[in-house]
Structures are given as structure tokens and as C-alpha cells.
Amino acid sequence: MEDFTIGRSENNNYVINDASVSSHHAKISIGEDFNTFTFNDLNSTNGSKINGQSVLIKKINKKSQIQLGNMLIDTDDFFNKLKAYILKDRTDFTIEFKVLEEVEKKYVKQKHRVNKFFKIKSGFIRGVITIGLLLFIMKSEILDSVESSRIYLMIGVGTIGGIISTASVSEKRVKHKLDDLYIDYTLEFNCPKCSFDLSSKSWRFWKSKNNCPRCKCKWV
């Protein structure tokens, strides 16, 4: 991929309208992984600084503070335009698509863990209440009269109601947790080029399609 150029001239990929910036001030060399970036000063008049240090060549990332001449670059804007430049001409996203398999596995694992925890917790609570109720019956004589039987019935109904109520509250918490996990999943599980949402189908399904249905970039 060709370098990403920076300077005052309009034919640069990133134009900076400032007198202290040279017409063709610097360029960014893009690594084969498309995530490694090397800043190169092009013998500019007023020089370049990365994190306050004068440089000619320097690896940079989204946390780097880049200054050309007297102009401090807006890092977010700069890397957004660099990303757009990289995505514009790329068609092969095999590496990024492979990462989505791990994203899916992580989501499935987390969802299974939440459901399993709910079943264990819910079963434990119901078991404790049921055993407690049985022990109470065994050690009491409340069934010796009709009036006592009514008391027992009231206790039983109240206990069952408590179990149902506890389960209902737990189910709501689990649902909210699963919803949060799914939201995070949909933000990550999408086309690496156009961000098309892929969460409606499995990674295996999309692999069989070979490319994105929207932008047609290659996955396999």
C-alpha cells in the first residue's frame, strides 16, 4: 500500500493549512498488518515532533502526540482519516475476519457462563427453601388439627410465592446481563471494512459466503 502523505499542499492525503508546515512535510508508512505505522519526516523546513521529541523516523500509534512545525495534530481526526485511507482500496480482510471467530467464541462462552450461574444459584435457593420447609414439617405438629393444616397451607403458599418471586428477580437480572453481552457482541461482530452487522448469523455461516454482502470485500 502507498504511503499516507501529510503536508500543506492539496495533493496530500492529510492537508494541514498552516504556514509552519511544509508542502510535503511527512509521510506514514503502513505495515503489512495495516495496524503498524511509521512516521517519516520528509526534510521539512520546521521539523516534526512525536511526544515532544524531534524525530525523522518514529513508530506511532493512536496515543502518539504528533506536531508538524508549530501545528499540533488532532490525533483522533488524523487516525480516522488514516483508517479511511487504508480501507478505501483494501479488498482482502482475511486476517480481520479470522479474529471475528474468536469474538464469537468469547461471546458464546460468556453467555453460557451467565446461564450456568443462574441455574446453579436458582437451584440452590429453591433447594434451601424446600429442605427448610420439610424440616419444619417433620419437627412440628401443625397437622394435628384442621386449623393447623390451614396454617401449614398458608406457610406453604407463602414459601412457594417466595421461591417464584426470587426466581423472577434472578431471571430479570440474567436477561439484563445477557442483553449487555449481546450489545457488546454486535459492536464487535461486524464487517471489518464497512461495519455491516453480522450478529444475525454465525461466523461459520459468513465464512461459507466468502465475502461481505454489502461491500463485497473478501473474507476467505
Query: Is pLDDT of 44 > 90?
Result: yes
Q: What is the pLDDT of residue 152?
A: 57
Q: Identify which of 172, 184, 134 has the alpha carbon closest to the alpha carbon of residue 156.
A: 134
Q: Does domain 4-89 have CATH number 2.60.200.20?
A: yes
The domain locations on the chain are 4-89, 94-209
Which residues lie closer than 8 Å to 38 by C-beta, 6 or more apart?
28, 29, 31, 57, 58, 59, 60
Q: Region 51-56: what's the mean pLDDT?
A: 96
Phi-psi region of 52 (alpha: psi -120 to 50; beta: other; left: phi over 0): left
Its pTM surpasses 0.75: no
Confidence of residue 66 (pLDDT cuts 50, 70, 90): very high
Q: What is the pLDDT of residue 140?
A: 58
How far apart are the two ends of the chain, measured CA to CA in Å?
20
**By the 8 A CB rule, do 22 and 42 touch?**
yes
Q: Region 102-106: what's the mean pLDDT?
A: 96
- Minimum mean pLDDT range among 3-7, 164-168, 194-198: 164-168
